[in-house]
């Protein structure tokens, strides 16, 4: 059942929130040994919250999400519950406060079941960099679920939770959503508060949601989004009712096909599924036109300068002094720093810290960081130009379906190329959605829809109409049905 259906069921007293929450908690527990989708499960607080929600529901009180279960990616700070970021560094870290997103969903009535697994500090595209071990893809447990929000995507795909929060810095919502056959929304940069989201790359990070349907994503995003005085980069414009516009007809919608996305790196069958989806849109009255963003191929190199640069600085606070991992018996300050960080961080995080430190160093700053920022502006300008001609851009979310655990861990560049279609939206701060659009050899693939700034409503609308016409999003991996 979808979140929307569950909400109706709760209001109709078909079942109680306690029953609902207990059911999902039991599923999480049952499948955790296989999927490893969760880092922490908060059974008792969840049941207590469900009980309170039931009292609200009995009085017809509460918010739009009252009594509905949700899972938080483990980089959203949750008061009293540990927030690990998938890292040994924060294995012992219990946040003293709630992230704005967590607080907003709480006040909308959602019941948090626990914290989902993720690539360490959100650095990864396969969920293999987690200190807590890899998450497995519910469609084939030998495969990766994608990353970094792999736990959130796998949990939703295996119906361990109807929806999950997630974050997207270079594709970390859309890519795992595609590889797990679920719907993921990465909002416009500034639409959702970053306060309480442990930072990876501050100018790219954006919180969003993974759910089974566009409608469910709209329900959750409507509660998550909005200006936050605690986040100077959040934008002070009203949040539209994403749910109210879901059913607007798509006749006349101008769709741009990103020429650069249908390149030689794109798997043939994956491409075929995406083209089939585009034909559905044509049938609905949308028009297609090819659009070229000439600077888009530079997005991966630009991203792998900007993101590590910001990460090298953002992760400097993990020094073993105030919280997090501290090495045993430090001899002196330097020893404390070196061993605490050396032991606390995994290989991929270290690689990015080193890359970032290098590109910001005296003498290299102009050649790397500054140039990458210029490329970023060019890419943003490319997008802006395209959106003068089309309403949305469509293409594949990923070049291939899910790959095997371990297949790309030896070669970071191949791994980085997995985000080739998603990074552009982050560099330009644009919203993007991934919706399931079919299968290749039994593995789901995603259609990516990117829109102008603050066009979340239009993207969710386009995704929802497509989901009215297709049933890919209703498929559940056999083992978890």
Partner 1 sequence: MSANMSPAGWETVIGLEIHAQLATRSKIFSGSATTYGAAPNAQANLVDLGYPGVLPVLNGAAVRMAVKFGLAIGARIAQASVFARKNYFYPDLPKGYQISQYELPIVAGGAIDIVLEDGTSKRVGVTRAHLEEDAGKSLHEGLPGVTGIDLNRAGTPLVEIVSEPDMRSAKEAVAYMKKVHTLVRYLEICDGNMQEGSFRCDANVSVRRRGAEKFGTRAEIKNLNSFRFIEKAINYEVARQIDLLESGGKVQQETRLYDPDKGETRSMRSKEEANDYRYFPDPDLLPVVVDDALISAVRSSLPELPDQKAARFCSDYGLSEYDAGVLTASRELASYYEAVVQELPREPKLAANWVMGELAAALNKEGLEIDSGKLPAGRLARLLERIADRTISGKIAKEVFEQMWSSGADADAIIETKGLKQITDTGAIEKAIEEVMARNPGQLAEYRSGKDKLFGFFVGQVMKATGGKANPAQLNELLKTKLR
Enumerate binding residues for partner 1 (CB under 8 A): 75-77, 83, 85, 90, 93, 95-97, 99, 194-199, 201-203, 229-233, 309-310, 312-313, 315-319, 321-323, 333, 337, 357, 360-362, 365, 369
- What is the closest distance, in whole angstroms, from the C-beta atom of residue 232 to partner 1 in the complex? 5
Strands 254-258 and 392-396, bridge-based pairing: parallel
Taking the C-alpha atoms of residue 433 and residue 462, their distance in angstroms, rounded to an integer, is 10
| Nearer to partner 1 (CB atom), residue 134 or residue 429 | 429
Residue 340 is among the residues annotated as catalytic for this protein: no
435 forms beta bridges with 447
**Which is catalytic among the residues 16, 95, 148, 214?**
148
- What is the closest distance, in whole angstroms, from the C-beta atom of residue 332 to partner 1 in the complex? 10
Report residue 167: phi and psi, to 5°: -135, 155
| Nearer to partner 1 (CB atom), residue 174 or residue 194 | 194
Residue 186 is among the residues annotated as catalytic for this protein: no
Residue 264 is among the residues annotated as catalytic for this protein: no
Side-chain-side CA neighbours of 384 within 13 Å: the count stands at 9
Say how many C-beta atoms besides its own lie within 10 A of residue 249's C-beta: 11
- What is the closest distance, in whole angstroms, from the C-beta atom of residue 198 to partner 1 in the complex? 4
Nearest one of 224, 225, 174, 190 to 463, comparing CA atoms = 174
Question: CA separation (Å) from 94 to 84, 152, 251, 340, 343?
Answer: 8, 20, 50, 18, 19
| Nearer to partner 1 (CB atom), residue 318 or residue 466 | 318
Kind and range of the H or E element at 380?
helix 371-389
Taking the C-alpha atoms of residue 56 and residue 77, their distance in angstroms, rounded to an integer, is 26
Question: CA separation (Å) from 387 to 51, 196, 263, 383, 453?
Answer: 47, 32, 21, 6, 10
**Which is catalytic among the residues 172, 234, 312, 434?**
172
Q: List the Cα angle 82/221/402 in 5-degree steps.
A: 70
- What is the closest distance, in whole angstroms, from the C-beta atom of residue 308 to partner 1 in the complex? 12
| Nearer to partner 1 (CB atom), residue 2 or residue 203 | 203
Locate 209 and state its tokens. 């949601």
- What is the closest distance, in whole angstroms, from the C-beta atom of residue 99 to partner 1 in the complex? 6
Cβ pair 446, 196 in contact under 8 A: no
| Nearer to partner 1 (CB atom), residue 60 or residue 329 | 329
- What is the closest distance, in whole angstroms, from the C-beta atom of residue 76 to partner 1 in the complex? 8
| Nearer to partner 1 (CB atom), residue 208 or residue 444 | 208
| Nearer to partner 1 (CB atom), residue 299 or residue 418 | 299
Say how many C-beta atoms besides its own lie within 10 A of residue 333's C-beta: 11
Cβ pair 395, 292 in contact under 8 A: no
Taking the C-alpha atoms of residue 321 and residue 26, their distance in angstroms, rounded to an integer, is 38
Strands 183-186 and 432-440, bridge-based pairing: antiparallel
Locate 139 and state its tokens. 């469609």
- What is the closest distance, in whole angstroms, from the C-beta atom of residue 45 to partner 1 in the complex? 20
| Nearer to partner 1 (CB atom), residue 228 or residue 260 | 228
Query: Which residue in the block uniquely carries the two structure tokens 């290098």?
Result: 358
67 preceded by a cis bond (ω within 30 of 0): no
- What is the closest distance, in whole angstroms, from the C-beta atom of residue 85 to partner 1 in the complex? 7
**Which is catalytic among the residues 16, 73, 234, 434?**
73
List residues with catalytic annotation: 73, 148, 172
């Amino acid at each position: 059942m979808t979140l929307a259906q569950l909400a109706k069921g709760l209001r109709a007293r078909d079942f109680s929130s306690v029953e609902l929450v207990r059911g999902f908690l039991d599923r999480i527990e049952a499948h955790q040994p296989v999927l490893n989708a969760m880092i922490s499960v908060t059974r008792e607080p969840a049941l207590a919250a469900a009980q309170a929600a039931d009292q609200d529901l009995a009085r017809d009180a509460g918010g739009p999400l009252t009594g509905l279960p949700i899972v938080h990616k483990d980089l959203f700070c949750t008061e009293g519950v540990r927030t690990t970021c998938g890292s040994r560094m924060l294995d012992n870290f219990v946040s003293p406060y709630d992230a704005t997103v967590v607080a907003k969903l709480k006040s909308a009535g959602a019941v948090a079941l626990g914290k989902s697994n993720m690539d360490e500090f959100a650095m990864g595209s396969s969920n293999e960099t987690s200190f807590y071990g890899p998450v497995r893809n519910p469609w084939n447990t030998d495969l990766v679920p994608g990353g970094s929000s792999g736990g959130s995507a796998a949990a939703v795909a295996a119906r361990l939770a109807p929806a999950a929060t997630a974050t997207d810095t270079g594709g970390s919502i859309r890519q795992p959503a595609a590889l797990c056959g679920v719907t993921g929304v990465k909002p416009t940069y500034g639409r959702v508060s970053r306060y309480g989201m442990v930072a990876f790359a501050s100018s790219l990070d954006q919180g969003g949601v993974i759910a089974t349907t566009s409608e469910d994503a709209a329900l959750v995003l409507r509660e998550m989004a909005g200006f936050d005085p605690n986040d100077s980069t959040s934008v002070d414009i009203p949040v539209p009712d994403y749910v109210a516009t879901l059913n607007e007809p798509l006749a006349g919608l101008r769709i741009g096909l990103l020429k650069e996305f249908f390149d030689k790196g794109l798997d043939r069958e994956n491409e075929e599924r995406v083209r089939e989806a585009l034909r559905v849109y044509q049938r609905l009255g949308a028009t297609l036109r090819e659009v070229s963003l000439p600077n888009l191929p530079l997005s991966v190199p630009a991203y792998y300068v900007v993101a590590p640069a910001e990460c090298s600085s953002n992760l400097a606070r993990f020094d073993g002094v105030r919280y997090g991992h501290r090495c045993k018996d430090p001899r002196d300050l330097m020893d404390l720093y070196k061993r605490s960080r050396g032991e606390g961080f995994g290989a991929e995080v270290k690689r990015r810290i080193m890359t970032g430190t290098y590109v910001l160093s005296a003498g290299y700053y102009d050649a790397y960081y500054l140039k990458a920022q210029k490329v970023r502006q060019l890419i943003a300008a490319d997008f802006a130009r395209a959106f003068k001609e089309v309403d949305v851009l469509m293409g594949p979310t990923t070049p291939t379906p899910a790959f095997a655990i371990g297949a790309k861990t030896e070669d970071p560049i191949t791994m980085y190329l997995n985000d080739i279609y998603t990074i552009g939206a982050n560099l330009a701060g644009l919203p993007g959605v991934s919706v399931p659009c079919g299968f290749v050899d039994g593995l789901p693939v995603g259609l990516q829809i990117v829109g102008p700034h603050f066009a979340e409503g239009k993207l969710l609308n386009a995704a929802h109409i497509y989901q009215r016409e297709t049933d890919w999003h209703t498929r559940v991996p056999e083992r978890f049905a």
